[in-house]
């Protein structure tokens, strides 16, 4: 029988961030709770630079913003993670309907594949 106890892992741990990871944050820098969680985990957090990162968190507010995805690929380590974020309730970036989702767009970027897709609510 599976353990039904709630997870004790933090949101940042669930997203795969580890101590020492170089984390590039784009568009969510003004979320003090998220930034604090990253730093408490021991991640090296930055909001700019072109050096390849272990993890990138990028916010996409509108469909046109998805064009930035391909430009983020060279900013990732070869085994890095790219997490896309969108405003809660965004109709422009919907999981259903005719709008392309960030994950589907990323899959079409040269040399990229989707390994995992998760939805985290906060």
State the CATH number of the domain containing residue 49.
3.40.50.2300
9 Cβ contact list (under 8 Å, min separation 6): none
The number of domains in the chain is 1
Q: Classify residue 19: in a domain, yes or no.
A: yes
Compare 88 and 37 and report the one with higher pLDDT.
37
Give the model's pLDDT for residue 46. Answer: 96
Q: Classify residue 4: in a domain, yes or no.
A: no
Q: Classify residue 5: in a domain, yes or no.
A: no
| Mean pLDDT across 56-85 | 85
Q: Classify residue 2: in a domain, yes or no.
A: no
Q: Classify residue 31: in a domain, yes or no.
A: yes
Q: Classify residue 48: in a domain, yes or no.
A: yes
Q: Does residue 113 contact residue 82 with C-beta atoms inside 8 Å? A: no
Angle at 26 between CA 24 and CA 32, to 5 degrees: 90
Q: Classify residue 81: in a domain, yes or no.
A: yes
Q: Could you read off the pLDDT of 20-63 as tens digits, one per residue?
A: 999 999 988 888 888 999 999 999 999 999 899 999 998 887 77
Give the model's pLDDT for residue 51. Answer: 93
Q: Classify residue 114: in a domain, yes or no.
A: no
Phi, psi dihedral angles at 46 (to 5 degrees): -140, 160
Range of the domain at 65: 12-107
- pLDDT above 90 covers a percentage of the chain that reads 26
Q: Which two tokens stand for residue 63?
A: 């469909």
- What is the overall mean pLDDT for the chain? 76
Pairing relation of β-strands 44-46 and 53-59? unpaired
């Amino acid at each position: 029988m599976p353990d039904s106890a709630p997870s004790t892992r933090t949101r940042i741990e669930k997203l795969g961030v580890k101590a020492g990871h170089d984390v590039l944050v784009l568009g969510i820098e003004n979320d003090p709770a998220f930034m604090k969680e990253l730093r408490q985990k021991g991640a090296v957090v930055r909001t700019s630079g072109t050096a390849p990162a272990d993890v990138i968190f990028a916010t996409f507010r509108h469909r046109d913003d998805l064009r930035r995805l391909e430009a983020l690929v060279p900013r990732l380590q070869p085994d890095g993670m790219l997490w896309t974020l969108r405003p809660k309730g965004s109709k422009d970036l919907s999981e259903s309907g005719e709008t392309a989702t960030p994950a589907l767009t990323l899959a079409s970027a040269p040399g990229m594949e989707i390994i995992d897709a998760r939805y985290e609510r906060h």
